[in-house]
Structures are given as C-alpha cells and as structure tokens.
Amino acid sequence: MSMVLRRLLTAIPTLFGVVVVTFLLTRVLPGDPAVFFASNPSMSAADIAAVREHLGLDLPLRDQFLVYLGNLMHGDLGRSVATGQSVAAEFARRLPASAELTVAAFALAVAIALPLGVAAALRPGSPVDHAARLIATLGASLPSFVTGLLLIFAFYVFAGIAPEPAGRLAPFMVEPERVTGFLTLDALLAGERATFAAALRQLALPAAAMALFALAPLTRMTRAAMIATLGADFIRTARAAGLSRRTIIVTYALRNAMVPVATTMGMTFSYMLGANVLIERVFSWPGIGAFAIDSLINLDYAPLQAFMLVMAAVFITVNLATDLVTALIDPRAAR
C-alpha cells in the first residue's frame, strides 16, 4: 500500500514537468495563434491585438502559465483556433475511437505474442522458435504506416474482403447508443449484431497493423524471459519435486517471466500511443491522433498541446499500472 502511495507521489513532479514542457513547447511554436487571424486581410492591427489580449498572449509568460494551469484544473484544454470548438469536447468525442483501436490492437498482440514466446522458449531451436525469432526481428522493422497501407492493398483493394478504410463504421450505418464509446462493445450491449460485425470489420485492419508493430517486442521479451526463468534453479527444484508440467510451466515459470513481460507490455502500450498517430492517418480513423495531426498542419496548436498532455497522462498512468501489476506478481517489488 505504501508502495502505491510512493509511486503516486513520484508521478506528481513528472506530471508537472509534462505540463511545463507542453506549455513551453506551444509558446515557442512559430505560429502565433493571433497570426492565424492576421492572415485574414480584413483584420487590422488593432483587431490582432484584441485577439492576442483575448487569448491572454499579452501577459508575461509566468502569468500565461498560471492561467494555463488554472484552465487545466477546470478541465479546459483551450479552443481550437480553426474551428472555435472546445478541445476538451472534441477529445471526449474522439478519445474512445483511439482507445478502442489501441486496446484492440494491444489485446491482439498480447494474445499472439505470449503463447508464441512461451512455445518458443519451451522448444528452443524448433520451427516455433524460429518463427518467434523471425517475428521479433522482422516485426521490429515494420513501419506501421507501410504495413497499414499494404494491408489495405491486400485486403481491401486486391482481395476485396475488408471494408473501405474510412473510419469506424460505414457511413450508412447508425452508431449504437453510446455507453462505453467502443463501437463494438456498444453494439453488443445494444444487441445489434450487424453493427457489431461492421464495426469489427472496420477495426480489423488498423488493429492488425498496430498489433504487428507491438508483436515484436512482446514476443522477444516473452521468449527471453521464459528461457531465463526455465533455466532458473527453482524450476529444477520444481521438476525434481515431480510437480506436473502444467504447474511448472504456468505457476512457476510463466508467473515469474511475467515480471519483465509486464514492464515490456507497459512500454509497448506507450509506443503504440505514438504509432497511433500514423495508423489513424492511414485509415482515416477519427481518433485524437488524427485530430492532433490535422491541427498541427493547420498551425492550430491547442489541440496538439492537449494531445501531448493526454498522451503523457496516459503514459504515466500506464507506468503506474505496470508497477502495480509487477508488485502484485512479485512481492519483492511491493516493498
């Protein structure tokens, strides 16, 4: 328990640092938000000054920061200059799309990587082992946006079995009532099987592209950790005690191997957050990454700022969760 508290406390300075960095970054960005309006010829210098004042850009940097911090406290992530919309509202709308994609891809990658890594470790030098090593090396070399495109070409253009890569649901379909924000789950909850199938089909390719990306580190670490654990003295003890193969592999080896694997899972999940940006772009996925990129290209910085904050917050949460899981598995880490 004290360990949880300690970890929470150490996350605070990091979180504060993240806020400072995000703030500074957006202040040095070349696009002065007011200039955006200045490009409109009907605006005079006085108008621009008014906009600056409205946006608080005439204040000293320290005061700007305090205002920014105060707004954050109220959940105000600023406004998109391009659309005039609240960034927080836009994020609330888009976050489930990104989350569903990332979680689905992560679950898919884990579901493949764990058994593959374990099987490879149990039979070193076997075909499974070679396959695992190939995936671990090749997978780490796949640019996710290229795999995404190749998947689109193969399954949509060429084979014609995947739907058009344009968002989460075909335009003519009605979204299910929003409960979780995950379309697949919501469709199931509403009992609309056709919608569920359609949403799953949309999800399949981008999730696969992202899972491919995550597969490599997960497989590599599972295999390595399992090999190391299987060679440990206590496994020899368990074998000598005549414990069943199942008990030895699952209760003794796998649980121990899960300690480093859990850490790798956390890291991989965070990497996936970054890769999200590219995948969402390739598949026109209406998530926060795509939104951030569109804003960046339009020199609209509030969404980018919010995006970085959200990413860092998720990252810190994931790290925290990883530490907790590790502490649950390993009593030595819980102290």
Partner 1 sequence: MNALLSVRGLGVDFETGDGPVHVLENVSLDIAPGEITGIIGESGSGKSVMAFAVMGILDPAARITGGDILFRGESLLAMDPRRRDGWRGREAAIIFQNPRAALNPIRRVGDQIGDVIARHDRPPAHALRGRVEDALRRVGIPDPARRARAWPFELSGGQCQRISIAMALACRPGLLIADEPTTGLDVTTQAAIIALIRALARENGTAVALITHDLALAAATCDRLAIMHAGHVVETAPAPTILAAPRHPYTRALLASAPALAGSINELQPIPGRLPDLRRADLPPCRFAERCPRRIARCDAPGPLGLHEAAPRHLLACRNPP
Partner 2 sequence: MTRIARHLARGNPLDLAGFALFGLLCLTAAFGPLLVAHDPLATDAAAMLQPPSARHWFGTDQIGRDILARVVVAARLDLLIAAGAVGLSMVAGSIMGAFIGYRGGWADVVVSRLVDVMMAFPLFVLAMALVAALGNSVANVVYATAIVNLPFYIRLARAEVRLRRDLGYVEAARVGGAGDGRILMRHLVPNIAAPLVIQGSVNLGWAVLNAAGLSFLGLGVRPPAAEWGIMVAEGVRFIASGQWWIATFPGLALMLAVLAFNLLGDALRDLLDPRLRT
Q: Between 168 and 197, how does the x/- string for binding to partner 1 read (CB under 8 A)? A: ------------------------------
Token pair, residue 313, equals 């917050």
Residue 28's binding partner among partner 2, partner 1, none (Cβ under 5 to 8 angstroms by kind) is: partner 2
Q: Closest approach of Cβ 243 to partner 1, in Å?
A: 6
Q: Closest approach of Cβ 76 to partner 2, in Å?
A: 20
44 or 137, CB closer to partner 2? 137
15 or 259, CB closer to partner 1? 259
62 or 245, CB closer to partner 1? 245
The separation between CA 97 and the C-alpha centre of its own chain, rounded to angstroms, equals: 11
Q: Is 236 in the site for partner 1 (CB under 8 A)?
A: yes
Q: Is 41 in the site for partner 1 (CB under 8 A)?
A: no
14 or 244, CB closer to partner 2? 14
Q: Between 248 and 277, how does the x/- string for binding to partner 1 read (CB under 8 A)? A: ---xx--xx--x------------------
Please pick, from the candidates 238, 272, 273, 279, the single residue that binds partner 1 as defined by CB under 8 A: 238
d(CA 191, CA 202): 18
User: Where along the sequence are the contacts to partner 1 (CB under 8 A)?
Assistant: 232-234, 236-245, 247, 251-252, 255-256, 259, 329-332
